[in-house]
Amino acid sequence: MDESNRKFWLGFSRAAGIGAVRLRALLDRFGDIATAWSASEAELREIGLPTHAVDGLLAARRELDLDRQLELVTAAGCEVLTWDDPGFPPALFEIASPPIVLYVWGAIRPVDRLAVAVVGTRRPSAYGQAVARDLGTALAVHGVTVVSGLARGIDSLAHRAALDAGGRTLAVLGSGLDQIYPPEHRALAQEIAEHGAVLTEYPPGVRPEAGNFPVRNRIVAGLARAVVVVEAGEASGALITAEFAADEGREVFAVPGGIYSLASRGTNRLIASGATPMLSPEDILRALDVEERPGDEVVEAAASFGGDLESALAGMLTDEPVHADDLVVRSGRAPSEVVAALAMLELRGRAVQVGAMHYVRARAPRRVAEVDR
């Protein structure tokens, strides 16, 4: 791209009332970004721009020093990607309203085209934590980029799992790159930038205001081939991401949960509305047509997230029901860890809950020749 034109992209991204649809109309009419920026008020009205959009663009011209804006971005150490850049994620051109520019800390790579968004509540249960970690690990081990929003809870757990498994992850912010939110995730953001990218459509200085996050969720969904909602209450922002994904033709998965769990009400309703239940990470890999690696490789990568505990608990299970409290005593681990590990054993088909927190080992299906006749 002609670097002298980059500042005009920045200008349009800051003009009130100008979004992707209107910018496309301007480019179709005037041919290039520089000519569109300098079009007269009469020309702008001729193509049908509403009054507030014309006023917003004229105000941006008066108030913005585009050369200074470009200097500030360069000084911030981030990259600006526009529609004219080959590095702009092609998946975002498939959504109804792609961001006009992306501010990127780190690097978006071609391999990130194979990506899955993992989203959910900021207050996950032990079960949700275990699923997010296991899913993030499995995706990373199989070369799938994990996309999420850097939020507390499911988002950060999925990012961390991908990083610890040696994979790539992308974090999409609802603020400028100099306004990492939540602030305790600055170190995590730094690590993500080193092994993926932190990105946003908001320029430096924009604070993480509540209204920004639903808007950014369309980018989370747009970057991914599929979206997995791990846990979500009935008013969770993760459901907005799922809605964007469905509207844009991405497959939506939801992790089923207990009917009395507040954190699973949103996911269970998604499933009732047609989302695909995720019963194991392999469901996602099969949907993406990703060749599964041997189980040992995934287990090894997941060891830091309780793989050893899962193996220990699996060895304690027999055909006789045993209560989770007994497994807590025998394992010497915290109740929350044991419950999460048991949940993962159920997802893997290695344990069965037979009622009131009692578990037995899952029986392997008998061969046809062994079936009673």
- At 19-60, the pLDDT tens digits run 999 999 999 999 999 999 999 999 999 999 999 999 999 999
Establish how many alpha carbons lie within 13 A of residue 147's alpha carbon, considering only the half-sphere containing its beta carbon: 30
Binned at pLDDT 50, 70 and 90, residue 371 comes out as: very low
Which pair of structure tokens corresponds to residue 146? 């994990």
- Nearest 5 degrees, angle CA 113-CA 118-CA 121? 155
Assigned CATH topology for domain 306-361: Arc Repressor Mutant, subunit A (1.10.10)
Of the listed ranges 61-75, 208-222, 230-244, the least confidently predicted one is 61-75
Res 368: pLDDT: 32
Which two structure tokens, joined as six digits, stand for 229?
Answer: 């909602």
Q: Which fold has domain 1-75?
A: DNA polymerase; domain 1 (1.10.150)
Instruction: Give the containing element (helix H, strand E) for 115.
Output: strand 115-119
Here the tokens at position 352 are: 């069965």
Sorted by where each begins, the domain ranges of the chain are: 1-75, 110-295, 306-361
The per-residue DSSP string of 200-258 comes to: ESSPTT----TTHHHHHHHHHHHH-SEEEE-S--TT-HHHHHHHHHHHTT-EEEE----
State whether residue 101 is helix, strand or coil. strand
The reported pLDDT for the residue numbered 363 is 65
pLDDT > 90: percent of the chain? 71
**Of 137-146, 149-158, 339-348, minimum mean pLDDT range:** 339-348
pLDDT category of residue 359 using cuts at 50, 70 and 90:
confident
More confident residue, 160 or 296: 160
- For the segment 76-86, the average pLDDT, to the nearest whole number, is 91
Residue 172 has pLDDT above 70, yes or no: yes
Segment 282-301 shows an average pLDDT of 71
CA angle 364, 366, 368 (to 5 degrees): 150
Distance of alpha carbon 173 from alpha carbon 164, whole angstroms: 21
Q: Which CATH architecture has domain 110-295?
A: 3-Layer(aba) Sandwich (3.40)
| CA 245 – CA 275 distance, rounded (Å) | 11
Please check the confidence at residue 298 and state whether its pLDDT lies above 60.
no
Residue 359, SS3?
strand
CB atoms within 10 A of CB 368: 6
Is the pLDDT higher at 291 or at 293? 291
Tell me how far apart the alpha carbons of residues 16 and 49 are, in angstroms, rounded to a whole number. 12
What is the chain's mean pLDDT, rounded? 89
Cβ proximity of 73 and 103 under 8 Å: yes
Q: What is the mean pLDDT of residues 363-369?
A: 41
Residue type, 110: P
**Residue 367 contacts by C-beta under 8 Å, 6 or more apart in sequence?**
none
Residue keyed to tokens 């047609």:
274
Instruction: Beginning with the edge strand found earlier in the chain, give each strand of the sheet holding 358-361 in spatial order.
Output: 322-323, 358-361, 351-355
